[in-house]
Amino acid sequence: MIADFFLKLSLPEWIVIIVAIVLAGGAFYYYHRTLPPLSSVRKYFLLVLRGILLILIFFLITEPVLKIIERHQEPPLMVVLYDNSASMSIPEKSGRRADSLLYVKNFIQSQKKKLDSLRIEEYAFAVDITPLQTDTLDFSVDGTDISNALSTIIDSLSGENLQQILLVTDGIYNRGSNPLGLLRNFHIPISTVVIGDTALPRDIAIRRVQTNQITYVNKEVPVEVTIWNNGFQGQRSVITIVKDGKEVARKIINLQQSGFEQKISLTLTPREVGDLNYTVLIQPLEDEITKKNNRQAFSVRVLKSKLKILVMSGAPNFDRHFLSFVGKQLNDYDFTFLTEKNRGQYYEANFQSVALDSQDLFIFHGFPTGISDANQVRSLFKQINQRKVPVFWFISQKTAPPALSNYQDQLPFSITSRISPMENQLAVLTQLGRLHPITQIDENETINEQLWKDLPPIEVYPQLKIPEGVQLLLVVPRTTEMPATQDNIIPVAYTYRRNGIKYFVFNGANFGNWHFQLQEDQTRESLFREFLQRTIRWLVNKDDIEQIQIKPTQKIYNVGESVVFTGQVYGNFYQPVYDATVTITLKGDSAYQVSDEMLPLGNGFYRSLFSGLPEGKFQYIIHAERNKQLIGERKGSLTVKPFFLEFQHIPANGELLRKIAYNTGGEFYFPAAFVKSFPSGSFETRTYFLTKEFFLWRFLYWLPLFILLLGTEWFFRKRWGLL
C-alpha cells in the first residue's frame, strides 16, 4: 500500500514554475500568428504539442526523482524446532519419545490452518538443521547440537518478524556448546517442550574406553573401561574385549552405586603387528532401557618389539652426551651408542658386537670422521642400501667429506670443501616447517611458532649443499639484508627421500643448548626431546615413503562422526605438489559408494571430509594427478562402528530446557500442557515502510515520447501547409 509520495527536482520549485511559464509563453508566441492562418482549434493543438515537448525537456534537465513510500504489514513468525536425533527412539513406559514428539508436531500442524495471523515455520534438527519435509523425521542421527540449531535460526531469520522459537526436544545435547552460553545474545523468547522422562531409567552404559594408542607385539596393554549404571547396584555383569568375534579379555564385575561412574581395568596382549580393532562389551541385564550403549569400539596400533637405533658418533663431545641423555628418556626405542676412539675402535663396545642387520635406524653424529675404518663404513652403507634403513644425519666439524666420497649416490647432501662453522646462528621455521609433523610440536600454529622462536644459537656449516627435492624445515638466512629464499639461506634441518630411503639432516652443532638453556622455560624445556622423537617416528614410518601421503585421521570412526582425510602429495623428487587434482572414492560393504575432490590447503597439503557414513567397513582409493598425468594412487580401509552417542545419557534434560525458557522469557511445557495453551504469548504484526526511488530522467521511454510529440507536430504542420 502506498502511504506517501513526492517529487524531488534539482532546482527550486519557483524556478521550475517560472521557466515552465516562459516555455509555454514561447510556444504561444511561436504559434500566435501562422502562415497561412489556421483556425483557433488547429493553432492551439500545435501550440499544446510544442509546449508539452519544451516543458518535458526542461523537466528532465532538472533530474526529477519520484519517491514512493509503501506501507507493509508483516505477520508474526514462530519457528518450531523438532529433535530428529536417535534419542527420540528410546522406549519408555508411555511409548517411544518419538510418539510424544509426533503428537506435538501433528497438533501444531492442525492449528496452522486456523491461525491466519500467525506464520509458523518448522525445522528438524540433530547435528545439522533442515526445513521440515514429509520424510525429514526419521530419528536416526547420532548426535544433537542445540546451540547450532538456535544460532542458525537467529542468523538466517534475523530480518524476519520472528517473535518466538519453540524447541521440541529431550534436551540432550552431545555436540557443540552448552546452549545456555548463547542466551545472552538472544532477544527472542524460546519456549520449550520437554520430550521424555526426566527420571533416571534402569540402564548400564559404557562411557569411555582408554588405552595406549601405540604398543608392541606380545606386550600387555592396559585397558580402562568407564561404565555407568542405574538400578543395578550390587548385581553382577561381565565385561569382555572382542577382536574379530573372538574374546581376548574378560572380567566379572560387581556393579557399584547407582548413578555413578565405575572404572574397570582389563589387559590384552596383541599377537600381531598392525592397526588392530577391538570392541568392549558389557553383558546386558534384564529390564535395561536400551542395549545400544553396552558396547564401544577402539583401536590400537601395534608395532614390533622396541625399535633398535644405532648411534655412530665421531667424538665424545657435549652434543654426543646430550643425545645419550635424551635417548634414555625415550623408552620406546633401544639405543646403542658407538663413540669413536681410534680407527675402528669405540669407547662403548666393539663394532663387531652390534647386529647391523637388526637395526631399524642409523644416526650418524659427526660420522664418519677422517680416522673411521673404511670397511666399517662400507658395512653400514651396505645395510642402508640393501634394507632401505633410514638415516638421521647430524653434521659437525668431525664429519669428513673424503670418507663419504664413495657413497655420493646414497647421500642427502654434498660437501666439496673443508667444513668450517658459522657460530651463534639462529634457526627459524620455514613455511613448510610450520606444517610438517616433525616440527609441528603444537597443533596451534601461533603456539608452535612461539616454541621455535628465539632458540639458543647454534653453529651451522654453509659448505653443505642440498640436492633437489629436499623439504626445508629450519634455515638460517645468510645475511640479514637478504630475503630468506633457498638461494641465500643455510639449511639447518630438512627431510629427503631417495631410492626408497628416508633421510633427515641436521646441519648444526651445540643443539644440546636447546635443552639445557631452556630447562627453566616450562613450555620449551622438552622441545628437543619432542623434536628428536618426532623425527625418529617420521624416519621409521615406512608408510609415508609413498608419494601420496594422505590417509584418514584415524582407523575407526563412530556412526555420525565426520571422516577426515588429510595429508600431502609429493612429486617424483618428493617435493610437495600444491596444484594436483586429488580425488577420494569410498566403497562400503554393499553398493554404497561416494567420491569427493580434496580441497588444497597449500604446500602440498589436501583435506576432505565425509559426513553421514553408515556403519560398516570401507575401502578407499586416493587418486592424484597433475595436468592429466598420474602421480599415483593409494588404497586403504577404515571402519565405521556404531557408537550410539545419543544413548550415553538417557534421561531427558528438563532442567536445561526449563533454564532456556526462563532466561529468554519463554514458557516451559510438558506435551499435555502445551496442547492446552498453544499458542501462548502475544504476537504482534510488524509495520514497516519501504521507500522506493525512481530516477525519471534516466528512463529511456522519454525518447519515443519526444519523437511522437515532435513527429505529430511536424506531420500536421506539413499537412496544413505551414511554413
Full 3-state SS string of 15-46: HHHHHHHHHHHHHHHHCCCCCCCCCHHHHHHH
Residue 534 CB partners (closer than 8 Å, separation 6+): 437, 438, 439, 441
How do beta strands 581-587 and 563-569 pair? unpaired
The predicted pLDDT at position 659 comes to: 93
Instruction: Select the more confidently predicted residue: 229 or 641.
Output: 229
- CA–CA distance, 95 with 196 (Å, rounded to integer): 9
State which of 303, 323, 342 marks the end of a domain.
303
How many independent structural domains does the chain possess?
5
Say yes or no to pLDDT of 482 above 50: no
DSSP line for 133-161: -TT-----BS---HHHHHHHHHHHTTTS-
Q: Is residue 145 part of a domain?
A: yes
- CA–CA distance, 710 with 369 (Å, rounded to integer): 105
Query: What's 615's domain CATH number?
Result: 2.60.40.1930
Q: Is residue 518 part of a domain?
A: yes
The predicted pLDDT at position 483 comes to: 44
The predicted pLDDT at position 669 comes to: 94
Say if residue 257 is in the same domain as residue 184: no
Q: Is residue 381 part of a domain?
A: yes
Say if residue 194 is in the same domain as residue 271: no
Range of the domain at 397: 307-542
Say yes or no to pLDDT of 545 above 70: no
Classify residue 416 as exposed, middle or buried by CB count within 10 Å of its CB (0-12, 13-18, 19+). Answer: exposed
Say if residue 391 is in the same domain as residue 482: yes
Say if residue 232 is in the same domain as residue 266: yes
The predicted pLDDT at position 544 comes to: 56
* Terminal-residue alpha carbon distance, the chain: 52
The predicted pLDDT at position 21 comes to: 87
Distance of alpha carbon 292 from the chain centroid: 29
Please report, rounded to a whole number, the percentage of residues in the chain having pLDDT higher than 70: 97
Q: Which of 467-481, 501-515, 604-618 has the lowest mean pLDDT?
A: 467-481
Query: What's 99's domain CATH number?
Result: 3.40.50.410
Say if residue 62 is in the same domain as residue 152: no
Say if residue 118 is in the same domain as residue 136: yes
From residue 532, give the alpha-carbon distance in Å to each of 166, 266, 306.
56, 33, 16
Residue 352 CB partners (closer than 8 Å, separation 6+): none
CB 303 within 8 A of CB 213: no
Say if residue 352 is in the same domain as residue 465: yes
Instruction: Select the more confidently predicted residue: 417 or 326.
Output: 326
Whole-angstrom Cα Rg for the chain: 40
Q: With b meaning 16 or more CB within 10 Å and e meaning fewer, what string describes 501-516?
A: bbbbbbbbbbbbbbbe
Q: Is residue 219 part of a domain?
A: yes
- CA–CA distance, 651 with 206 (Å, rounded to integer): 16
CB atoms near residue 239 (< 10 Å): 20
Most confident of 122-126, 271-275, 440-444: 122-126
- CA–CA distance, 110 with 548 (Å, rounded to integer): 57
From residue 382, give the alpha-carbon distance in Å to each of 238, 349, 504, 588.
55, 21, 18, 44
Say yes or no to pLDDT of 213 above 80: no
Most confident of 255-264, 298-307, 537-546: 255-264
CB 262 within 8 A of CB 255: yes
Cα dihedral sign, 666-671-677-682: positive
Rounded to 10 degrees, what is the CA torsion of 323, 326, 329, 330? Answer: -60
- CA–CA distance, 223 with 281 (Å, rounded to integer): 13
Say if residue 484 is in the same domain as residue 425: yes
Over residues 553-591, the pLDDT tens digits come to 888 887 767 899 998 888 765 667 889 999 999 998 778
Say yes or no to pLDDT of 185 above 80: no
Q: Containing H/E element for 708?
A: helix 702-719
- CA–CA distance, 617 with 590 (Å, rounded to integer): 10
Over residues 358-412, the pLDDT tens digits come to 999 999 999 999 999 999 999 999 999 999 999 999 999 999 999 999 998 889 9
Show the CA angle centred on residue 43, arms to residues 41 and 47, nearest 5°: 115
- CA–CA distance, 589 with 494 (Å, rounded to integer): 42
CB 151 within 8 A of CB 182: yes
Say if residue 503 is in the same domain as residue 387: yes
Say if residue 559 is in the same domain as residue 703: no
- CA–CA distance, 190 with 182 (Å, rounded to integer): 12
| Three-class secondary structure assignment of 323-385 | HHHHHCCCCCEEEEEEEEEECCEECCCCHHHCCHHHCCEEEEECCCCCCCCHHHHHHHHHHHH
Over residues 232-285, the pLDDT tens digits come to 999 999 999 999 889 999 999 999 988 888 999 999 999 888 888 899 999 999
Residue 120: phi, psi to the nearest 5? -120, 125
Asked, as a colleague might, if the bond just before 76 is cis with ω within 30 of 0, I would say: no
Q: Is residue 363 part of a domain?
A: yes
Confidence class of residue 547 from pLDDT cuts 50, 70 and 90? confident
Over residues 304-340, the pLDDT tens digits come to 767 899 999 999 999 999 999 999 988 878 999 999 9
State which of 303, 337, 355 marks the end of a domain.
303
Say yes or no to pLDDT of 288 above 70: yes
| Residues in a beta bridge with 334 | 308
Q: Is residue 11 part of a domain?
A: yes
- CA–CA distance, 539 with 575 (Å, rounded to integer): 17
CB 198 within 8 A of CB 112: no
CB 533 within 8 A of CB 438: no
Instruction: Select the more confidently predicted residue: 480 or 42.
Output: 42
Q: Is residue 646 part of a domain?
A: no
The predicted pLDDT at position 187 comes to: 83
State which of 270, 303, 336 marks the end of a domain.
303
8-state DSSP, 646: G
Q: Is residue 444 part of a domain?
A: yes
The pLDDT mean for the chain works out to 87
Over residues 648-699, the pLDDT tens digits come to 788 889 999 999 999 998 999 999 999 988 887 777 887 777 888 888 888 8
CB 64 within 8 A of CB 7: yes
Say if residue 606 is in the same domain as residue 624: yes
Say if residue 254 is in the same domain as residue 286: yes
The predicted pLDDT at position 349 comes to: 93
Query: What's 218's domain CATH number?
Result: 2.60.40.10
The predicted pLDDT at position 479 comes to: 65
